[in-house]
Amino acid sequence: MSERLSVRKTYKLFIGGAFPRSESGRTLVVNDAKGRFVANASRASRKDVRDAVVAARKAFGGWSGRTPYNRGQILYRVAEMLEGRHAQFVDELRAAGLGKSAAVAEVDAAIDRWVWYAGWADKLAAVNGSANPVAGPFFNFSTPEPTGVVGVIAPDSAVLGLVSVLAPVIVSGSTCVLVASEPAPLPAITLAEVLATSDLPGGVVNVLTGRRAELAPWLASHMDVNALDLAGVSAEQVQPLEEAAAGNLKRVLRPEVTDWADEPGTGRMTAFLETKTVWHPVGI
């Protein structure tokens, strides 16, 4: 009996809750650690960046308008589904060169990290907001609000780094356009497949695969992107992207030498919050 032909997969982009092909028609070859073919990934273009930003902006009102408790429920549901895909993530990391125990530990840590961020959804306002003491018959409250559409250049750090830059953006109500790791895009695409079948509304997270050097400048200069996380950008690329981001005064989170296994803290969540202060007369 002859062996079956291998079914070679071409992974698509994730935009607006759907999986379109890149309008460019281009693909990238993804190989395993031994140089063997694994799959093709779409090579996104400038138009794909624009489409992803449009989808993220459209989703922002609904996502930011949900109660924090509901956002936490949805993120926790994503963690449940990540747990269900545990073996697939482990297989992808092993193909990328990690040993079995290291791959299992990486996926376990990524799921735990997602649950940790989900738990912050209904606590951010209490921790980062305040009732301010003022002179006069007034109430004065400061409350955090999501900044809007955030562009994220994902790091080359398997699944834990990916979760550590994505979850803190969306937990507070912002939406995201994420450029996946260039050499290892499959975990981001697999995560997109998880998100597509979860309760997360379409457009809250949009995933592009392709060349960072090609996509990042368009994301940085886009006038409807409110902030950037340059976690996966090399040092020599930072200044041109910051200059492009200055066109509409984007908030930019610069790359740092990061051990993603360390305790995350709240910095990545608060980096993409805006504070609104409201005065109200007492007794009215």
pTM over 0.75: yes
| CATH value at residue 162 | 3.40.605.10
Average confidence (pLDDT) per 10 residues, the chain, 284 residues:
75 97 92 89 96 98 97 97 95 90 96 97 92 88 94 93 97 97 93 95 97 96 97 93 96 90 93 91 77
CA distance 225 to 215: 13
Q: For strand 251-253 and strand 227-229, is the pairing parallel, antiparallel, or unpaired?
A: parallel
pLDDT attached to residue 2: 62
pLDDT attached to residue 138: 87
**Domain-located, residue 252:** yes
Please give the structure tokens belonging to residue 62.
């609904």
**Domain-located, residue 5:** no
**Domain-located, residue 59:** yes
**Domain-located, residue 78:** yes
pLDDT attached to residue 284: 60
pLDDT attached to residue 5: 77
Q: Which domain holds residue 76?
A: 10-281
**Domain-located, residue 4:** no
Q: Is 73 exposed, middle or buried (0-12, 13-18, 19+ CB in 10 A)?
A: middle
CA-based max dimension of the chain? 88
Domain count, the chain: 1
**Domain-located, residue 170:** yes
**Domain-located, residue 210:** yes
